[in-house]
């Protein structure tokens, strides 16, 4: 029996198919041991080969497999016939019967087994193709999740049109799915996912944008009111300038209004808009710094030190004022009330460095890095939604402005113990061209005497009498005014060529206007002003340059010469920048 | 003055309280009148506040406070405060205006008018 067990075992093991075991087990014991010399080992070897081939390569044996089930039956028949021949004749009938039944049973079993085998093959093939499809689907889905969707969000963040993004993404997705050979349903499902994600992102973006627009809108309205208020306050300050009490109250109101304006500006900036009003012309840096000071609470504690004589181009004026105001506010807020905050502006290689140094509490390294991180964050794009419960607007606003206008802001420990904030204004926002504004324009645009400083010899002679007669001021005052004005008139042509500080146009205009200014200002000046000025401008000085007087009266808004000179002025203004 | 103020507003971002440092001139003890004459004693220091420098330049020859205010386009209170600084530093000198006593008495003039009318 050892060889049969071995065959069975090997056949079972090598095919791995359980359904072969049964016919063998049935078939083999039916073989009498006498058959062994004749049938062995060829038949079983052949059977074994057949079984092995059948089991190992189900695909390749397809035509033969139809007849495989016949084999055990045929063998049983042969075995039965042989047995019937060999056994004694009286036992032949039962043997034949047994053989017949066995044959039928084996045939049935074999047929069923073969059928099941084929079904199993089919299933296996199916499951293999399904696994492949599944793998491809998984690959496409992973790509959708890990590449396409992030790209969609990114591209929407770059302000691309959602329609464009959807179209290109849908196409890419369809192409991938086609390459993977997946069904249209799958494609459609993925496109639906893409579309709904896109819609969700767009809807959120729209929501945020409309919220920001609302913010900006409200801020703009507040700004408009504040601006109006500031102008009116300024008018009132002029009107009540002589009454110190009223004037002081007006200044306080003015200050409060400026603070409100800054808050509105902050909201506008965080809403992604410009901080506020636009400046059409360059403004001196000194004015810009004082403008920043005028928007904080503790402006009296700010000490303005040396400032380089440059101007800031118009479009950067308001952002710079606002950013500096926020930094100054920070500095004054987080330092003891009795300490000073130092504000300087120096020229550096890359532009102008504005330094704000306070003697307050030193910022810990951690707080400093947190602040810098906040600045950094703001530069990457922070908006009203990200501010959180108790918004610290200041740094966010500074970061935002720095990002928009290329300011470099850094916070460092100060030698005074506090914080030293440095804001570098890039070179291209700085100009040395003539600037308007109070700070440096003041000497040039008004006053009759600024020529004196440039031509000390000329005016000295006519004004000589004045210092020499201090005891009788009333009498020499009128004569003094006369020669001075005439003198200026004579100076005009000379001075135009002798411009200094690279401010020729502006200077010339100011000089030209200077002599006529008393004429313009006299009526508006307080009525207590002595007759001196009216006497001085009455006859002698209109003579040499009547057009100048008309021009000046137009400049100062007098009704007499309003039409012509206004246009002159505007044309000149348009030339200037 | 309001037109000029508006123009100024368009021109400059700084407010008046920054120029005066928050002072209103009320506390100043200087008896500066609108017609007080101001004369500079020196030329402006470099690095001085622009308004101070402008006053120094303007006052090379005597100017009244009212005129300064008009030239600088600043309210009288502001000019007063600025002049207060300069006076405290001794960089300008203030001269009293014509004493009223030196002018003819008003009653005298009226008497003359009456006399003339009675002629």
Name the closest residue on chain B to residue A464, using Cα atoms.
B61
pTM recorded for the entire structure: 0.58
Angle between helices A21-30 and A70-86 (to 10 degrees): 10
Q: How far is B118 from chain A (nearest CA, A)?
A: 30
Would you call B13 and A291 a contact, using CB atoms and an 8 Å cutoff? yes
Check residue A367 and give its pLDDT.
76
Strand (E) positions, A468-556?
Answer: none
Would you call A245 and B26 a contact, using CB atoms and an 8 Å cutoff? yes
Would you call A235 and B37 a contact, using CB atoms and an 8 Å cutoff? no
Please tell me which of A7-11, A48-52, A538-542 the model is most confident about, judged by mean pLDDT. A48-52
Interface test with B, best of A435, A525, A555 (most B CBs within 10 A): A525
* φ, ψ of residue A264 in degrees (nearest 5): -60, -40
Tokens representing B41?
């004693």
How confident is the model over A59-111, as pLDDT tens digits?
A: 444 555 556 677 888 888 888 888 888 888 888 888 888 888 888 888 888 88
| Mean pLDDT value across residues A249-275 | 88
Taking the Cβ of residue B24 and every Cβ of chain A, the question of whether any pair is shorter than 8 Å is answered with: yes
Q: Where are the domains of chain A?
A: 2-131, 136-209, 278-431, 446-575
A514 band by pLDDT with thresholds 50, 70 and 90: very low
Closest CA to B34 of A256, A454, A528: A528
Distance CA A153, CA A155 (A): 5
| Mean pLDDT value across residues A458-481 | 37
Checking if the pLDDT of A364 tops 90, the result is no
A574 band by pLDDT with thresholds 50, 70 and 90: very low
Checking if the pLDDT of A317 tops 80, the result is yes
Would you call B25 and A247 a contact, using CB atoms and an 8 Å cutoff? yes
Greater model confidence, B62 or A545: B62
Residue % of chain A over a pLDDT of 70: 60
Residues of B in contact with A436 (CB under 8 A): 11-12
Check residue A554 and give its pLDDT.
58
Q: What is the ipTM of this complex?
A: 0.76
Name the closest residue on chain B to residue A319, using Cα atoms.
B13
Q: Which residues of chain B have pLDDT under 50?
A: 1-9
A424 band by pLDDT with thresholds 50, 70 and 90: very high
Tokens representing A302?
């700010």
Residues of B in contact with A526 (CB under 8 A): 34, 66, 76
> Please, which residues 73-112 of chain B have a Cβ atom closer than 8 Å to chain A?
73-78, 80, 95-98, 102
Q: Which CATH class is domain A278-431?
A: alpha beta
> Please, which residues 42-71 of chain B have a Cβ atom closer than 8 Å to chain A?
43, 47, 50-51, 53-54, 57-64, 66-67, 69-71
Q: Which of A195-199, A495-499, B70-74 has the lowest mean pLDDT?
A: A495-499
Checking if the pLDDT of A126 tops 90, the result is yes
A53 band by pLDDT with thresholds 50, 70 and 90: very low
Would you call B18 and A299 a contact, using CB atoms and an 8 Å cutoff? yes
How confident is the model over A386-408, as pLDDT tens digits?
A: 555 545 678 888 888 888 888 88
Taking the Cβ of residue A244 and every Cβ of chain B, the question of whether any pair is shorter than 8 Å is answered with: yes
Q: What's the domain count of chain B?
A: 1
Taking the Cβ of residue B36 and every Cβ of chain A, the question of whether any pair is shorter than 8 Å is answered with: no
**What residues make up the domain containing B20?**
2-118
In DSSP notation, A297-361 reads TTGGGEEEEEE-S-EE-HHHHHHHHHHHHHHHHHHHHTS-TTS-EEEEEEEETTEEEEEEEE-SP
| Mean pLDDT value across residues A109-116 | 88
Taking the Cβ of residue A276 and every Cβ of chain B, the question of whether any pair is shorter than 8 Å is answered with: no
């Amino acid at each position: 029996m050892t060889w049969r067990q071995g065959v069975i075992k090997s056949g079972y093991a090598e095919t791995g198919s359980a359904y072969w075991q049964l016919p063998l087990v049935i078939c083999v014991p039916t073989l009498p041991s006498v058959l062994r010399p004749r049938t062995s080992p060829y038949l079983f070897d052949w059977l074994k080969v057949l079984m092995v081939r059948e089991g190992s390569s189900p695909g390749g044996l397809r035509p033969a497999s139809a007849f495989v089930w016949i084999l055990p039956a045929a063998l049983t028949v042969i075995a039965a016939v042989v047995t019937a021949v060999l056994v004694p004749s009286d036992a032949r009938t039962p043997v034949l019967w047994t053989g017949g039944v066995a044959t039928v049973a084996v045939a049935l079993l074999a047929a069923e087994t073969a059928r099941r085998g084929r079904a199993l093959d089919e299933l296996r093939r199916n499951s293999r193709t399904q696994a492949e499809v599944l793998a491809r689907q998984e690959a496409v889905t992973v790509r959708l999740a890990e590449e396409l969707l992030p790209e969609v969000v990114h591209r929407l963040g770059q302000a691309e049109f959602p329609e464009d993004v959807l179209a290109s993404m849908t196409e890419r997705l369809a192409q991938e799915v086609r390459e993977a050979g997946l069904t249209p349903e799958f494609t459609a499902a993925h496109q639906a996912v893409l579309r709904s994600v896109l819609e969700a992102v767009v809807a959120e973006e729209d929501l945020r944008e409309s919220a920001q627009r609302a913010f900006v809108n409200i801020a703009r309205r507040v700004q408009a009111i504040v601006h109006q208020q500031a102008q009116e306050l300024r008018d009132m300050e002029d009107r009540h300038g002589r009454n110190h009490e009223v004037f002081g109250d007006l200044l306080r109101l003015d200050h409060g209004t400026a603070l409100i304006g800054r808050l509105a500006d902050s909201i506008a900036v965080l809403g992604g808009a410009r901080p506020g009003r636009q400046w059409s012309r360059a403004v001196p840096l000194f004015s810009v710094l004082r403008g920043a000071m005028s928007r904080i609470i503790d402006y009296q504690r700010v000490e303005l030190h040396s400032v380089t004589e440059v101007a800031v181009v118009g479009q950067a004026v308001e952002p710079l004022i606002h950013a500096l105001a926020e930094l100054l506010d920070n500095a004054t807020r987080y330092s003891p009330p009795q300490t000073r905050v130092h504000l300087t502006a120096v020229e550096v290689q890359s532009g102008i460095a504005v330094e704000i140094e306070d003697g307050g509490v030193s910022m810990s390294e951690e707080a400093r890095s947190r602040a810098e991180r906040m600045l950094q964050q703001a530069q990457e794009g922070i908006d009203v939604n990200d501010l959180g419960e108790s918004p610290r607007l200041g740094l966010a606003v500074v970061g935002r402005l720095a990002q928009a206008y290329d300011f470099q802001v850094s916070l460092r420990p100060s030698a005074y113990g506090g914080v030293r904030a440095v804001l570098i204004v890039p070179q291209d926002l700085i100009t040395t061209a003539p600037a308007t504004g109070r700070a440096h324009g003041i000497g040039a645009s008004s006053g009759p005497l600024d020529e004196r400083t440039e031509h000390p010899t000329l005016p000295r002679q006519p004004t000589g009498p004045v210092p020499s007669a201090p005891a009788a001021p009333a009498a020499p005052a009128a004569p003094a005014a006369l020669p001075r004005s005439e003198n200026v008139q004579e100076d005009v042509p000379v001075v135009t060529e002798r411009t200094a500080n690279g401010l020729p146009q502006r200077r010339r205009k100011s000089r030209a206007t200077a002599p006529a200014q008393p004429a313009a200002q006299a009526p508006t000046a307080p009525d207590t002003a002595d007759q001196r000025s009216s006497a001085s401008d009455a006859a002698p000085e209109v003579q040499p340059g009547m057009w100048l007087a008309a021009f000046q009266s137009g400049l100062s808004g007098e009704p007499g010469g309003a039409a012509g000179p206004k246009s002159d002025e505007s044309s000149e203004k348009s030339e200037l920048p | 003055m309001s037109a000029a103020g508006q123009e100024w507003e368009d021109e400059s971002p700084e407010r008046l309280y920054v120029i005066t440092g928050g002072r209103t001139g009320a506390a100043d003890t200087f008896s500066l009148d609108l017609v007080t004459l101001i004369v500079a004693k020196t030329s402006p220091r470099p690095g001085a506040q622009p308004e101070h420098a402008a006053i120094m330049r303007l006052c090379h020859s005597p100017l009244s406070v009212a005129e300064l205010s008009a030239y600088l386009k600043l309210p009288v209170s502001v000019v007063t405060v600025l002049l207060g600084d300069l006076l405290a530093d001794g960089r300008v000198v203030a001269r009293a205006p014509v004493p009223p006593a030196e002018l003819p008495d008003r009653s005298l003039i009226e008497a003359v008018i009456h006399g003339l009318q009675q002629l």
